[in-house]
Amino acid sequence: MSERLGFEHVTKVYESAGADFVAFDDITLEASPSEFLAIVGPSGCGKSTLLKMAAGLIPPTKGKVQLGGNTVSAPPPGVIYLFQQYAKSLFAWRTVIDNVMFPLEGAPRSQRAELRARCEDYLRQVGLSGFENSYPWQLSGGMQQRVAIARALAADPQVLLLDEPFSAVDALTRMELQTLVLQLWERRKFTAILVTHDVEEAIFLADRVAVLSARPTSLKEIIDVGLPRPRDQLATREDPRFLKLRHHLTTSLLAKGSGHVVAA
């Protein structure tokens, strides 16, 4: 199950100390059903704000966000947000399994056992079998983000919004989590929108990469990744096309910068 998610002429203006501050202006962008779309841009360009609008957490000043055929005005069903700060998004007072069960607690009591079994399966899928009764704060950072991923799966996502979800873990864990998300995406075919400042991550995961400019933010370009799937942490990253895209995107992102930054 998946949905089309589109930004139509979306503008966000903040008012601070009497002066208007334009976060981004007139952005039109669309993710097709089951597409993996990445949005990259320099820090402070409002990428997260864009994602929170898609989740219905923040309203746009102008324009609208469309999900399927409907305009998003409040958190819509099936749109799940994966936060960068996984520790603050998990409920410390709940065990791992109870965290995963959280989205399903509205269900009738009679279905409890079945839902629990399903959540245990999600935990198995993210590699956390045996940790059901641990508390989040007893786990490592990477494992905590896995709990958040399992909880997102439990909510049966049609659209999964990933807000720099791997930026707070170490490099090796990051790669493991990227592979995990790709596997789950291929299995469940939800629409995925990833916001990141990591160009390699965007290319590795996405079908298309949208590049945002620095403030006032606008859509600079959209590129097709076109790398074969399933992707592999070594083979994909060594593919000449990968390197070419990395070169292109890095240049594009640095273009508006100070010009003295040396590309990695």
Partner 1 sequence: MSTIGTIGEISRTGARTNRAAQLIGVRLYGLLLILVLLSLWELSARLGWVVSAYWPPVTAILRAAVGELAGGDMLDALASTLRRAAIGYIVGSVVGVVLGILLGKSRVLRLALLPLIEIIRPIPTPAVIPPLILFLGVDDALKIFIVSLASFFPVFTNTISGVAAIDDTLIQTARTFRIGWLRTLVSVVLPATLPAVTAGLRTATSLTLVVAVLAEMIAGSSGMGYYLVQMQYALRPDLMYAAVLYLAIVGYCLNRAFIVLEARFVPWIGKT
Answer yes or no whether residue 122 interacts with partner 1 by CB under 8 A.
no
Report CA 126 to chain centroid distance, whole Å: 16
Answer yes or no whether residue 22 interacts with partner 1 by CB under 8 A.
no
Residue of the chain from 1, 62, 71, 91 that contacts partner 1 (CB under 8 A):
91
User: Taking the complex as a whole, how short is the minimal distance between the CB of residue 57 and partner 1, in angstroms?
Assistant: 5
Answer yes or no whether residue 89 interacts with partner 1 by CB under 8 A.
yes
String marking each residue 168-207 x if it binds partner 1 according to CB under 8 A: ----------------------------------------
Place of tokens 């596997």: 183
Residue of the chain from 15, 17, 88, 171 that contacts partner 1 (CB under 8 A):
88
Nearest to 3 by CA among 192, 255, 235: 192
Which is nearer to partner 1, 102 or 180 (by Cβ)? 102
Structure-block tokens of residue 28? 């039109």
DSSP the chain: ----EEEEEEEEEEEETTEEEEEEEEEEEEE-TT-EEEEE--TTSSHHHHHHHHTTSS--SEEEEEETTEE-SS--TTEEEE-S-HHHHS-TTS-HHHHHHGGGTTS-GGGHHHHHHHHHHHHHHTT-TT-TTS-GGGS-HHHHHHHHHHHHHHT--SEEEEESTTTTS-HHHHHHHHHHHHHHHHHH--EEEEEES-HHHHHHH-SEEEEE-SSSB-EEEEEE----SS--TTHHHHSHHHHHHHHHHHHHHHHTS-S-PPP-
What CA–CA distances, in Å, run from 230 to 126, 151, 204? 18, 24, 10
String marking each residue 129-168 x if it binds partner 1 according to CB under 8 A: ------x-x-----------------x-------------
User: Taking the complex as a whole, how short is the minimal distance between the CB of residue 89 and partner 1, in angstroms?
Assistant: 5
Which is nearer to partner 1, 48 or 178 (by Cβ)? 48
- In angstroms, the CA 38 to CA 33 distance is 14
Which is nearer to partner 1, 102 or 197 (by Cβ)? 102
**How many residues bind to partner 1 according to rule CB under 8 A?**
23
Applying CB under 8 A, the span of 102-110, 115-123, 218-226, 255-263 interacting with partner 1 comes to 102-110
Which is nearer to partner 1, 97 or 203 (by Cβ)? 97
Which is nearer to partner 1, 78 or 225 (by Cβ)? 78
String marking each residue 30-69 x if it binds partner 1 according to CB under 8 A: ----------------------x--xxx------------
Residue of the chain from 6, 41, 60, 103 that contacts partner 1 (CB under 8 A):
103
Binding site for partner 1 (CB under 8 A): 52, 55-57, 75, 77, 79-81, 83, 85, 87-89, 91-93, 102-103, 105, 135, 137, 155
